[in-house]
Amino acid sequence: MLNLTIDGIPVQVPEGTTLLEAARQCGIWIPTLCHHESLTPYGGCRLCVVEVRERKVTHIVASCTAGARNGLEVVTCSDTLLSIRKGIVSLLLAEVPQSPVLQELGAAFGVTGDTRYTPRNDSCIACGRCIRACREIVGVSAIDFAYRGYKKVPAPPFFERSESCIGCGTCVAVCPTGAITMHDIQAGIYSRAPDGSIIEGPARIIDNWKVSFPLKTCSRCGEPFVPQAVLDHCAIYAKLPADFFELCRECRQ
C-alpha cells in the first residue's frame, strides 16, 4: 500500500492507483471532461490538474494519468489550479457555449466564454472519449482523430461512411457534451440516411459517422431492439448460440 496526503488528508491506496482515483476515494471533487472510469486515462482536457510536492519540489500534473507514490503531498485546489481551470473552461465555453456540461462548469468557476473566439458549429471538445470507447470497449476502432490543433475532431476514415462502425451507440453514451447524434426510426417510417439514401425503419442512424443500420426485431414481442451488426459482432466475440440473439433483453429475463 502507498501512503500520501491529499489536501492534508492521509490516504492509503494500492499501487497502480491514480491521484484522481485516490482523491475520489477521499470524497474530494476534481473536475474532469476527458476522463471516464471505463477507459484508459488520456489527460487531454487538463481540468484535473493538481499540485504535487515531492522532495521540496512542486509540479503540476494531470491527476487522471499521474500515479500515486509514497510520501506525495497533493493539493487539489489552490489559486494556481483555480486560475488554470478557469482559463480552460473559459476557452471551451467560447468554442461550445451551448453545452450544458460546460455551462455547469462555467457557473461553478464563475466564468463565461472568451468572446475573442468564434463558437464551433457542433458541441465536440475533442476529448477523445468516443475514440477510446470504440477501440477499448467495443473493439472496432471505427473512428479516430482527424486534423490537429483547433481543427482536431473525431471522424471516420476520410470523413466517409465508416465501414467498421456497428451502430452500438457506445460513443454516444460516453460523450460528455452530446456532440454525437443518434436516432432510431420506427417501423414503417422512411428517413434519409447520412449518405443520401432513403431507409425504412426500424433502423438506426448515427449522423457523425454517416452510418445507418437496420434494427433486429425481437421474435417474441416484435419490438426492434438493436442493430443486426451489433449482434453479428457479439456472436463472434461472445461465442453465444445464434438463437440467443432472437430475443430482446426484456424477453430473456
pLDDT per residue as tens digits for the range 219-248: 999 999 999 999 989 888 887 777 788 888
Beta-carbon neighbour count of residue 188 at 10 Å?
8
Residues 144 and 236 in one domain: yes
Assess whether pLDDT exceeds 80 at residue 253.
Answer: no
Domain of residue 22 covers 2-77
Residue of higher predicted confidence among 89 and 245: 89
Q: What is the model's pLDDT at position 79?
A: 96
Residues 248 and 170 in one domain: yes
How far is it, in rounded angstroms, from Cα 216 to Cα 69? 50
Assess whether pLDDT exceeds 80 at residue 155.
Answer: yes
* 118 within domain boundaries: no
223 residue type, one letter? E
Q: Taking residues 131-147, what's their average pLDDT? A: 96
Assess whether pLDDT exceeds 90 at residue 115.
Answer: no
Q: What is the model's pLDDT at position 127?
A: 95
Residues 71 and 140 in one domain: no
* 209 within domain boundaries: yes
The DSSP 8-state label assigned to residue 169 in this structure reads -
* 86 within domain boundaries: no
CATH number of the CATH domain containing 50: 3.10.20.740
CB 176 within 8 A of CB 127: yes
Assess whether pLDDT exceeds 90 at residue 105.
Answer: yes
Q: What is the model's pLDDT at position 6?
A: 96
Indicate the helix (H) or strand (E) that contains 100.
helix 100-109
Question: Quick one: pLDDT band at residue 139, thresholds 50, 70, 90?
Answer: very high
Residues 169 and 67 in one domain: no
Q: Taking residues 65-94, what's their average pLDDT? A: 95
Residues 68 and 151 in one domain: no
Q: What is the pTM of this model?
A: 0.90
* 227 within domain boundaries: yes
* 58 within domain boundaries: yes
Q: Which of 195, 213, 194 is nearest to 204 (CA)?
A: 213
Q: Number of folded domains in the chain?
A: 2
